[in-house]
Chain A
């Protein structure tokens, strides 16, 4: 099977006036269609850098990124990106916010607008259509951000800690919703998070990165019965705690090495 994302020996150096520092050191990764992969690691392991490189927002200093077999050269609508917060535009209504991707990619037609409406309904946001972001709760706003990402129908989603700014209950609900939606629509996803239990609950594979410079330390396959359960219930499956502790230990030793 051809991978959706293929990273070939990615190396990235950040250059500033003071110094040049190695952020990623020869990283190889393949993500296959329909897979949900989480990247965890101590701060400074280059998780977000990696995501930006896959999204085409940044060019790696060395190495090659292939998405759907094509070399990445700038952001495209095939790849969706969800940020740490919703970052909805306060001057646009919910519908206008949700459809901005269509506007930017020149697909503001009847068919796509109808799809946007359907997506908003699916996320329980039909009522909010003509409201402004500041009238919505944090959880609702992040759901709008999900709709915004999905309108252009990307095959691959990059999730940059999209749950980190939410309160615990909303976070659990949204994990369920997003993981469920992506699975149902058969999307491929890469999630960056610092929450190990979240990573273990939503993913098919959890990858632990080491820091300074960032590289892959270990990859954990999530057992079938845990990954088939909804994230909220996955946390109660047998073996979940063991998996959590294995990832935890790997993280600890990654942090110790600094």
Chain B
């Protein structure tokens, strides 16, 4: 091919179309192989961990009373499922968590709306928010118990105390960071403050609100488990503290495994909902 040909974009391309396709196919194959490798190593780590734990337990390398071992733990879970005892505890804990993170996100967002609406209120509340945000909220647990009784309500309130303020701060911040020019678009049509909020501020902050939901799932678990440590007669946190008190660490560990599974499932569910709701966003 002459130099002139290549300059004017000659008719025969340097690489035929099927050659380009082949490159793409090779790329996809490489990607797939890598994914498979990562997954195999992940599974191997998990299996090795459980295998080592099992062997260490059975050969008495570790104190079985304290650390138990996987077959005992899973047998415990199987027994709890079979007897139906697990569902009551699981249901209560999941219920408290769901209420905690949904209500926490909702309340936090509502407070954010309120202080967005009134800059004066926002200035007044600022130092209180800072103090309350800096506080370890679980320290308020005993206060909540005497106020709301030893049960579902005080556990939920403990959870809310953890989720609400963070949500308020994050969501309010995202309200304030909405591009002033987007607001101007509404204002030039004579839009009211209510319209500015409903047409711009809220939809623009929607991704932030959804992502606080994700953070709050984790926070709510902390609140609920701590709450259950303090007062509960039911729930996974109760099982942990009960197992600890009667020195049944198989029960403690089986509760931990269940919490890990359920908390992950809940988190993934929120991630899924987030993806569904935000398909058209950047």
Contacts and interface: CB of A to CB of B under 8 A. Distances in A.
Interface of A: 55, 57, 74-77, 79-81, 83-85, 87, 89-91, 100-101, 103-105, 132, 134, 148, 152
B200 interface: yes
Contacts of B199: 89, 100, 103-104
Nearest to A78: B190
Contacts of B195: 104
A57 B184 contact: yes
Contacts of B203: 89, 91
Contacts of A83: 181, 184-185
B226 interface: no
A75 B182 contact: no
Interface in B150-188: 179, 181-182, 184-188
A100 B189 contact: yes
A105 B204 CA distance: 21
Most B CB contacts (10 A, CB to CB) among A101, A103, A104 go to A104
B184 A104 contact: no
Interface string B188-221: 1111000100011001101000000000000000
Nearest to B207: A91
A253 B177 CA distance: 40
Contacts of A91: 203-204, 206, 280-281
A87 B189 contact: no
B7 interface: no
B200 A104 contact: no
Nearest to A103: B199
A90 B207 CA distance: 12
B120 to A, nearest CB: 18
Most A CB contacts (10 A, CB to CB) among B181, B186, B189, B199 go to B189
The secondary structure that dominates the A interface is loop
Contact of B188 (A81, A89, A132): A81
A115 B146 CA distance: 64
A177 to B, nearest CB: 20
Contacts of B281: 90-91
B35 interface: no
29 contacts: A55-B188, A57-B184, A74-B190, A75-B187, A75-B189, A75-B190, A77-B189, A79-B188, A80-B188, A81-B184, A84-B181, A87-B181, A87-B182, A89-B199, A89-B203, A90-B280, A90-B282, A91-B203, A91-B206, A91-B281, A100-B186, A100-B199, A101-B189, A104-B189, A104-B191, A104-B195, A105-B190, A132-B280, A148-B185
A55 B203 CA distance: 25
Most B CB contacts (10 A, CB to CB) among A79, A87, A105 go to A87
A57 B196 CA distance: 14
Nearest to A76: B190
A55 B185 CA distance: 12
Contacts of B200: 89
Nearest to B278: A91
A104 B194 CA distance: 11
B8 to A, nearest CB: 23
Nearest to B179: A87
A87 B187 contact: no
The 3 closest A-B pairs by CB, nearest first: A81-B188, A104-B189, A75-B190
B188 A75 contact: yes
Most A CB contacts (10 A, CB to CB) among B179, B186, B187, B188 go to B188
A81 B191 CA distance: 13
A100 B200 CA distance: 11
